[in-house]
Chain A
């Protein structure tokens, strides 16, 4: 089946620093990838849609200058949390549908803790 990986799986950083999270589709190409945020005991909230070769589309209320998304290739999207603050601590999950398909496959998530 389709596999999506994320790196790192967890990261702890100081307030004010930037953190980059990678999302890779390992055995398929994805022109679109999605980034979600999940708080404990809550559902996934879509943050943005990452599009290969064009700008990301952000959901209402998500700061595009804070959460920088780059879809560098058909198998890689990165989310950079800039100037992270404790309230950015969360579980970040990416997903990707193989190009031409609707079913999304999810990465294992990245747990971010900002001190």
Chain B
């Protein structure tokens, strides 16, 4: 069955620390992957997406993610986090053979201490 797994449930960092959030997927078809962010009290916003081409994808606010097909992974990274990055982060894969629906990971709560 298709699934997305995020290993870290809650990550606590100090400002300026580097961030890496893990995401692994299980899906046999064409893989298009997304990272969404949900700031406290706000709706989900797209951080970045991978469809094809360069496996290193750059998104908004200094985030990037690397698609490693051999590892079925799409980890999210940021060299130096800020307090304003405190949010919930969701990895998702789109299922084209099921009408384009998204399957989400469990989410990772990131808390950045000032």
Contacts and interface: CB of A to CB of B under 8 A. Distances in A.
Interface stretch (B12-20, B62-70, B102-110): B102-110
B36 A102 contact: no
B103 A106 contact: no
Interface residues of A, number: 21
* Residue with the highest number of chain B CB atoms closer than 10 Å, among A46, A104, A108: A104
A102 B107 contact: no
Nearest to A6: B43
Chain B interface category by residue count: 20 to 34
A103 B44 contact: no
B101 A43 contact: no
Nearest to B105: A43
Contact of B44 (A46, A49, A93, A97): A93
A103 B49 contact: yes
Interface in A61-109: 93, 95, 97, 102-109
Interface of B: 32, 34, 36, 42-46, 49, 51, 90, 94, 99-107, 109
